[in-house]
Amino acid sequence: MPVDHEQVAVAAAWARVRQNLRASAGQRLFDRWLKPMELVAPDGDGVVRLTLPSAFMTDWVRNHYAERLTHEFRAQLPQVRDVVVETATALQTRIVPPAPLADPAPVPVAAVPQRAPVEHPALDPRYRFDRFVVSASNRVAFNAARAVAEPGVPRFSPLFLHSGTGLGKTHLMHAIGHAFLDTDPAASAVYLPAERFMFEFVAAMRARDTHGFKARLRGVDLLMIDDLQFVAGKDATQEECLHTINAFMDAGKRVVIACDRSPALLDGIDPRLLSRLGGGLVADIKAPETELRHAILAAKLAEVPGIAVPGDVVDLLAGRIRGSVRELEGALNRLIAYASLTGDTIDMAFAHATLGEMLAGPAKRVTIDDIQRAVSAHFEVKQLDLISARRAQVIARPRQVAMYLAKRLTTRSLPEIGRKFGNRDHSTVIHAVRRIEELRGVDREIDTAVRTLLRSLEG
């Protein structure tokens, strides 16, 4: 079947399958698990691909609905060989907006965009600037993203965003796209994951139509390439990427790149491309700090009214899940999904039972050096004094606090701790630990200092 016809047929079948599922599964179950499913552009191989936003949801739907989905699809469209449920990735092109459920009519042809060979996945409507929570760790990237989306001559190009995974690069790129198109509806923007760029380019080469490929990009005003690390080491695509980026910049257009590392650390990339990439604005996003983790949870919770998550559970998530915003969101979603499935209230016990291993998290490794630095800053003494022989009280007390924290927060033995504090004996460390424990019971100031330091060192 030609792809375009197949798209329309599959989309129409999908609309009917959804109606049937809603009728048989019941509204609550449908809303929670089945409604978020999205249809991926068919490849013409008779396999229907559906995606869900998380691995957790994917597992659930596979376990409970895999056969049912195949059966339902075949009933609508006998040529369907198989139905596959997957977790959504940036790569998939979601062609079919979920059909409005109130309307049982087949999806009109116009609702299914025809796919041009250079097609970008639609911008995700959830990824807008107003839903991006800003704090110190991402402020530079956020402001740069806002600036690059402003109309007029771009102030810099390219914008190169980099960070570890799950920290908001893709969100910011989509937000740039939205903002740019909102201010100038006549403008055009392309968002392409680098893998997709590669795929499109290789397909164009096979079809001997690289000319057409380039021509289609030429009319575009804003080019965004996500996950650039994927082209590292792939020479032909890289070369093409370089040409494309150069052409855009020479034409004074906007280019936004996202990557999992800075240009300086990208191996296997042509130095000419690297210098061009580093020549605009390079902004990184750092791991989310405590306040940001709290603010993000609060923002997400505000979006699901009627779900009560007590403060201590929010603190638990924000305190333990530090690696990425994606994990943090995932944990919250999992809590909410489980609770709505079991009807349980969300409390600490429920959170521990549901999130178990996620909460254990990668324990933050605090080093004695970190402790000495924090203590010296807190008490305004020199770090060197902490390891010196000086016995004046103004130095000795902070030193004892530092030893106490080293015992509590690291796995170092007493002799090891002693050595790190100017070769002191392990009995000195024991004495310091006992002394601070005692003082915490009677000396408010020391107790407050220890608490403050514990909080800042533990994250």
Q: Enumerate the known binding-site residues.
A: 166, 168-170
Instruction: Report the distance separating Cα 182 and Cα 176, nearest Å.
Output: 10
Q: Which does 325 bind (CB under 5 to 8 A by kind): ligand ADP, Mg ion, none?
A: ligand ADP
Backbone angles phi, psi at 106, to 5 degrees: -60, 150
Instruction: Report the distance separating Cα 457 and Cα 21, nearest Å.
Output: 50
Q: Which does 139 bind (CB under 5 to 8 A by kind): ligand ADP, Mg ion, none?
A: none
Least distance from ligand ADP to the Cβ atom of residue 296, Å: 5
Q: Which residue is nearest to Mg ion (CB)?
A: 170
Candidate list 170, 238, 354, 376; residue touching ligand ADP; CB under 6 A: 170
Q: Which does 154 bind (CB under 5 to 8 A by kind): ligand ADP, Mg ion, none?
A: none
Candidate list 96, 228, 317, 325; residue touching ligand ADP; CB under 6 A: 325
Interacting stretch for ligand ADP, rule CB under 6 A, among 108-116, 151-159, 168-176, 439-447?
Answer: 168-176
Asked whether position 92 contacts Mg ion by CB under 5 A, the answer is no
Site string for ligand ADP, 85-104 (x = CB under 6 A): --------------------
Interacting stretch for Mg ion, rule CB under 5 A, among 5-13, 162-170, 281-289, 317-325?
Answer: 162-170
Say how far residue 361 (Cα) sits from the centre of its chain: 17
Backbone angles phi, psi at 389, to 5 degrees: -85, 0
Asked whether position 162 contacts ligand ADP by CB under 6 A, the answer is no
Q: Which residue is nearest to ligand ADP (CB)?
A: 168
Q: Which does 296 bind (CB under 5 to 8 A by kind): ligand ADP, Mg ion, none?
A: ligand ADP
Q: Considering beta carbons, is residue 132 or 160 the nearer one to ligand ADP? A: 132
Q: Considering beta carbons, is residue 200 or 227 the nearer one to Mg ion? A: 227
Q: Which of residues 402-431 bind ligand ADP (CB under 6 A)?
A: none
Asked whether position 266 contacts ligand ADP by CB under 6 A, the answer is no
Q: Which does 452 bind (CB under 5 to 8 A by kind): ligand ADP, Mg ion, none?
A: none
Asked whether position 168 contacts ligand ADP by CB under 6 A, the answer is yes
Asked whether position 83 contacts ligand ADP by CB under 6 A, the answer is no
Candidate list 170, 238, 244, 400; residue touching Mg ion; CB under 5 A: 170
**DSSP-based three-state secondary structure for 403:** helix
Q: What is the DSSP string of 122-184?
A: PPPTT--GGG----TTTHHHHHHHHHHHSSSS-SSS-EEEE-STTSSHHHHHHHHHHHHHHH-
Q: Which does 167 bind (CB under 5 to 8 A by kind): Mg ion, ligand ADP, none?
A: ligand ADP
Question: Any idea what DSSP says for residue 94?
Answer: B
Interacting stretch for ligand ADP, rule CB under 6 A, among 91-99, 166-174, 214-222, 229-237?
Answer: 166-174
Could you tell me if 255 and 248 are in contact, meaning their C-beta atoms sit under 8 angstroms apart? yes
Q: How do 222-226 and 47-52 pair as beta strands?
A: unpaired
Q: Which does 387 bind (CB under 5 to 8 A by kind): ligand ADP, Mg ion, none?
A: none
Site string for Mg ion, 328-347 (x = CB under 5 A): --------------------
Asked whether position 326 contacts ligand ADP by CB under 6 A, the answer is yes
Q: Which of residues 285-324 bind ligand ADP (CB under 6 A)?
A: 296
Q: Considering beta carbons, is residue 90 or 181 the nearer one to ligand ADP? A: 90
Interacting stretch for ligand ADP, rule CB under 6 A, among 130-138, 213-221, 354-362, 428-436?
Answer: 130-138
Closest CA to 149 of 164, 166, 127, 117: 127
Chain contacts with Mg ion (rule: CB under 5 A): 169-170
Chain contacts with ligand ADP (rule: CB under 6 A): 127, 131-133, 138, 163, 165-171, 296, 325-326, 329
